[in-house]
Each structure stands twice: as structure tokens, then as C-alpha cells.
Structure 1
Amino acid sequence: MNNSSFQREIVLTENGEIYNPMNIGVASVIEKIGCCSIGIPLNISVAVAITRLRRMHRKPRNFFLLGIILSYLSFFIVPIIELIYWGIYPDESLCRAYVAVIGLPQGLLLINMLSALIDRYLALNYPLLHRGKMTVRFASIVMILSSIFTVFFLKFVYIVSLDILRCEILILHVQMTFILFTILFVSCTAMNIIIYRQTKILLRESRIVEATPDVSVVAINQSSTVVTPISIHVGRKKLGQLEMEATWTLIMGVTSLCVMPCLNIIFIATFFSCPHVFGESVCCNLNGMWPYVKEITMIPAIYGPIIFLVRNKELRSAWACVKL
């Protein structure tokens, strides 16, 4: 680190040189090309399915889903910049564009996932209020404002001109990214657990229906006004399937979060703590691990849309119509 000032502390290599984040190997190039060739068409086709079919526009939750898909699609901006820099135009302006974009796709995905989870929580606990207040227009406003806030916080250093955008990684930039990722990751995980628990409660309550006695009976016998719970038989197999579906949704949601950005959070935390625990000499090779972390965190942009297509029947039928 450069100790001249806090704001100018930057990531350095083990030789004390400025770390160039655009250095990628041949194996990384092949992986980026493979991921882009699969992920970009897949995410575009899902986004087109949501925007083209009118029946998908009636439900606000589909707009949150569209925000998540667009966030997945933004994951491929960074590898495209790296591929252009590596094979066509190795100019510093592309490196500055890389620094300006890095971290934004993950942050936008997290904030859109959190918005979608909050929407599901309100729909479960306050269905009437949710149906009346959560309109398509309101969902769009929430998505736009939350995305703007995320971009502003992640790129606060450059937006307010605390520093000039250069082909280098600022320590302050990394720290702010770590803080926001941690807050959003914990919030999304907590909401996943809350929604899962609430789903199980609603499934349990669905087996009991309160039957109100007839008015004529009430007139004859006032004691019959007591509401009598009637147990409705629900097949254990069907109930088990519903509970397993809720469990699976939680597991997949948390697993997706653990891959991205949990891996980023772990890596950044290790990057800051390792020198204090083991010393600079032991931790000098951490920069070399960053390209591999980036490749792994790009994978959810491929399997995420597939999970939505498998789990969402409405989206799957809309996607099939577009494909046909």
C-alpha cells in the first residue's frame, strides 16, 4: 500500500508496482468466451419473454424478476471489456471503464434480489395492502431508485471527485464495496429465512378453516356463535411437496448468494486481514487469486435464469412462446 494518504492507497503487486486488474491468462479468456456465449443469449431471451408478453406486465413481481435478469446480464459487461482489452484494443481507457464498472453487477443483483424478497414478504403477510399499493409503476420506481442508490454508493469515490478514475484499484473503493456487499448479503439471507419460515406457517394454517355458524342457528342458540375450527384433510404427500418446495427455494436462494457475492466478501475480508495476521510476505500472492474469484462469481449469471425457468411456470411458458 502507498502510505502517502488514505485516499490514494492503492492495491500493489508483490513487487511494489501498481496492480493492473486487466491482466488475464489464456485459460481465463477461454472461460470468459464460453460464459458469454451461453449466458448472454440466455438472459436476453428471458428478458425479452418478460417484456414482450403483455400478461407478464400485470404482476409487479415480474418487474422485480426482470431487474434480476438484467442484473445477471450486466455480469457480462466486465468480461467483454476484458476480452476487448486482451485481444483487440489494449488501451488505458478500457481499463478505466473496467474500474468504473467492476462491482456494479453484483451490487445491482443483490439490491434487486432484496427488493424481490421484500415484495414476497409483503405479499405473504399483508396480501390486501400489497395488492392495493404494490402496482407495476411503484415496483418500477423502487427498482430505479434502489439501483441509483447502489451505483452512487459503490462509485461514491469517483462520483463526488474524491479521486480521479485511473487504471488502478483504490483501497477505499474496495472497502466501500465490502461494506455494501456485506449489508446486502446479510439482508438477503435474513429475508430468505424469514420468507421460508412464514411459508411453512401459512402451509400449516391452510389445514385449518374457521367455519362461522349460520345466522338462524345463532338466533336460537347464542352459544353456537363460538367459531369452531374444522380440520381439513390435506394429503401428507401434497403437503410434503409444498414444504419441500419452500425448502428448495430457500436452499437455492442462499446457495446463489453464497457463490455471489459471499465469495467476494470472503476474498476481500481475507485481503484486508491476512497482512495483519500472517504478514505481507505471506499474503503477497492474493492479487493473483482475484481473476479466479471473478470467474467463479460469473457462474450465477448462467444458472440463475435456468433456476427461474425451472421454478416459474408462467415465465417458462412465456419463454417458450418467445422461443417458438
Structure 2
Amino acid sequence: MNNSNAQREVVLNENGEVYNPIEIGMASVIIKIVCCSIGIPLNVSIVVTIIRLRRMHRKPSNFFLLGIILSYLSFFIVPIIQLLYWGIYADDSLCRVYVSVVGVPQGLLLINMLLALIDRYLAINHPLLHREKMTNRLACCLIVTCSILTVFLFKFIYIVQLDILRCEILLLHAKVASIIFMILFVSCMAMNIVVYRQTKILLHESRFVEAAPADNVVANTQFSNEVTPVVIIHVDRMKIGQQEMEATQTLIIGMTSLCVMPCLIVIFIATFFACRLVFGQLACGNFNEMLPFVKDLCLIPAIYGPIIFLVRNKELRAAWTCVELSDNTIL
């Protein structure tokens, strides 16, 4: 019986009532509308660009980029559900849908970022093996498989029916989701540091140019007796090319820029559980009022993240501009 009560422990508000996770205020409504109005068209346009243009299908890295952008797009599922609940259909069933979705977009973004970082690491350190083994089909399979696994882990408690899905925040579910989120976040940060260091090493090596004269290219004619040196570049360590380097640097910048918001979530979660452990759950009801504000801040990366990719990735920017111009011409 005690185990059952512990399992059914839910988040309460400061009055001791079950906290309704989907309720939002007017300020939050305005922020969500603005973010959705900007973020959804932006992310959809990038997704359409990658899918429509065949030249974007030549490299597996663009499929990992597509997975990241789709993860950004999934960020707006939660605010759309909240807006529908607030303005149109305030029903318990919609609240249960919200509980079944919340937290998953952040997990999908981190797993797709992790896959993209691993892909960049392999492209830098094992370029020939990467080109041979990493196909578009393998990239798609990895993205789909890992995304499904992430959803399963985040909603494990409800999928295996350890508990019934209700319009409430189950504390056990919050703990499991927080642990998985932190593991993914730390893994992404660690991999980001590794890729960053390897990129710096490769950039340093790429600047090493050995100039040596070659007998077969000595220019000794009636017009000139100068010896023309031949620049011998060590190509073996530069198989990834300029576009691969740009893609790697863009991913590093994009991942680094995400540190602020996930760190904010990690700090908020850690403080919330520490408060419950020290003062008890009723004394920590004020955290529930801060939760909508933290969730609104988490929408910001879904706007500036795609902008970073557009600014830093020349191939994506050129393709996106091409699609936008063609669509405007049709209109």
C-alpha cells in the first residue's frame, strides 16, 4: 500500500491541490502565440527545403540536420495544445494529451544533436570509413530508431502501464524524465567538447602547407628563368572538405548556443527536487508558478537555433533562398 501511494505521488500546488500542468496566464499566451508565429513557418520552410531539393540528399549530415529541425518543430506541439486548451477546448482529454507529449521534444532534440555530433566526429577522424559506411539510409534508420527509443524512455511509465495517464504531473514520471534528460544533456556537452577539440586540431593541420620545388615543373624558358614551386598539400587529412568543416563548426555553435536553456531546465529541476527533499512538497508550490515561464523560455531555441544553421551553413542558406525565391515566383 505504501509503495502504491509513493508511486501515485503527484505534484501539488501551494494549496495542497493537484497541480494542473496545462493552465497558463495571459502573458504566457502572448509569448506562445508570438513564438509559434515565428518558429513554425521558419522551421517548416527549412524542412521543405531539405526535403524538396535533391542536392540536399547527397550527404547524410543533411539528414541529421533534418532530424534536428524536426525536433525544433516538435517544440511547438506543447504550446499549441496549451493554446487550444486555453481558448477553445478546456477538456481533461486534451490535458492528458499534453502530459503524454511534454518533455519529449527536448529529448528528441538532444538525441538528434548527439547523433549529429557523433556523425561529425566520425567524419573528422575516419573520413574514408565514414564516406563508405554512413549512407543516407543508415542515417535515417538511426534517427528514427533513436527517436522512438527516446520517446519510449521518456514515457516508459505510461507505455508499460505502470500508471494511468491523468491530467497531473506524476512525481515518478518527472524523476525518470529528468534523469534521462540530464544523461542526454551531459552526453551532448561531452561530445560537443570532443568534436570541438578535434575540429581545432584538424583546422590547425589544414594550415600546414609544405612547399617544395618539383623537377618536372621548373619553368625555364626564354621568357623566364624562375623556378615555380609546387604546393604539396597533405590531402589525406582533409577528406571531409570545406563544406564538412562548415557543417561541423555550425553544429558546434548551434549546440553551444543551446547550453543556456537546457542548463536552466537542469537547474530548475535540481532546485525543485532539493526543495521537496528539504522543505516538503507543500512548501515548494511556488515552483509551479515559475514552471510556465521556464517552458516559455524553452521555446526560444526553436527560433534562434534554425537561424544559426541558416547563417552558418552556406549550403543550407543557398538552398533555402532558392526555394523561397521559387515559391515567391509561383505566387
1:252 and 1:142 map into 2 onto residues whose CA distance is 21
Matched, 1:107 2:130: no
Distance 1:152 1:246, change over 3 A: closer
Q: Is the 8 A contact 2:157 2:163 kept in 1?
A: yes
1:95 and 1:41 map into 2 onto residues whose CA distance is 25
Gaps of at least 5 residues in structure 1 are: 215-229, 233-242
Q: Shift of residue 247 of structure 1?
A: 7.7
1:152 and 1:160 map into 2 onto residues whose CA distance is 9
Q: How does 1:155-194 map to 2 (within 5 A)?
A: 155-194=155-194
Which range moves more in the overlay, 127-136 or 204-213?
204-213
Q: How does 1:146-295 map to 2 (within 5 A)?
A: 146-209=146-209, 250=252, 252-259=254-261, 261-278=262-279, 280=281, 282-295=283-296
Q: Is the 8 A contact 1:174 1:268 kept in 2?
A: no
SS class of match (2:7): coil
Q: Is the 8 A contact 1:207 1:231 kept in 2?
A: no
2:279 and 2:155 map into 1 onto residues whose CA distance is 31
Over aligned residues, Cα RMSD in angstroms? 2.7
Q: Shift of residue 54 of structure 1?
A: 0.2
2:133 and 2:292 map into 1 onto residues whose CA distance is 44
Superimposed CA distance per residue, residues 45-79 of structure 1 (whole angstroms, 9 cap, x where no aligned partner): 00000000000011000000000000000000000
Q: Shift of residue 209 of structure 1?
A: 5.0
Distance 1:129 1:246, change over 3 A: closer
SS class of match (1:10): coil
Which range moves more in the overlay, 205-214 or 169-178?
205-214
1:244 and 1:53 map into 2 onto residues whose CA distance is 20
Distance 1:247 1:40, change over 3 A: closer
Q: TM-score, normalised by structure 1?
A: 0.86
Distance 1:136 1:30, change over 3 A: same
Q: Is the 8 A contact 1:85 1:94 kept in 2?
A: yes
Gaps of at least 5 residues in structure 2 are: 215-231, 235-244, 326-331
Q: How does 1:83-102 map to 2 (within 5 A)?
A: 83-102=83-102
Matched, 1:54 2:54: yes
1:108 and 1:207 map into 2 onto residues whose CA distance is 37
Size of the aligned set, in residue pairs, is 300
Match of 1:306 in 2: 307
SS class of match (1:122): helix
1:131 and 1:245 map into 2 onto residues whose CA distance is 15
Superimposed CA distance per residue, residues 91-150 of structure 1 (whole angstroms, 9 cap, x where no aligned partner): 001000000000010000000000000000000000000000000000000001100110
For 1:267, the aligned partner's letter is F
Q: Shift of residue 204 of structure 1?
A: 1.8
2:246 and 2:104 map into 1 onto residues whose CA distance is 34
2:92 and 2:282 map into 1 onto residues whose CA distance is 30
For 2:7, the aligned partner's letter is Q
2:58 and 2:250 map into 1 onto residues whose CA distance is 27
1:179 and 1:23 map into 2 onto residues whose CA distance is 25
SS class of match (2:258): helix
2:7 and 2:280 map into 1 onto residues whose CA distance is 23
For 1:50, the aligned partner's letter is I
Superimposed CA distance per residue, residues 152-202 of structure 1 (whole angstroms, 9 cap, x where no aligned partner): 000000000001110000111111111111111111111111111111111
Q: Is the 8 A contact 2:49 2:320 kept in 1?
A: yes
Match of 1:227 in 2: none
1:279 and 1:63 map into 2 onto residues whose CA distance is 46
Q: Shift of residue 23 of structure 1?
A: 1.2
1:93 and 1:249 map into 2 onto residues whose CA distance is 38
2:153 and 2:291 map into 1 onto residues whose CA distance is 22
Matched, 1:82 2:103: no
For 2:259, the aligned partner's letter is L
For 2:297, the aligned partner's letter is I
For 1:153, the aligned partner's letter is L
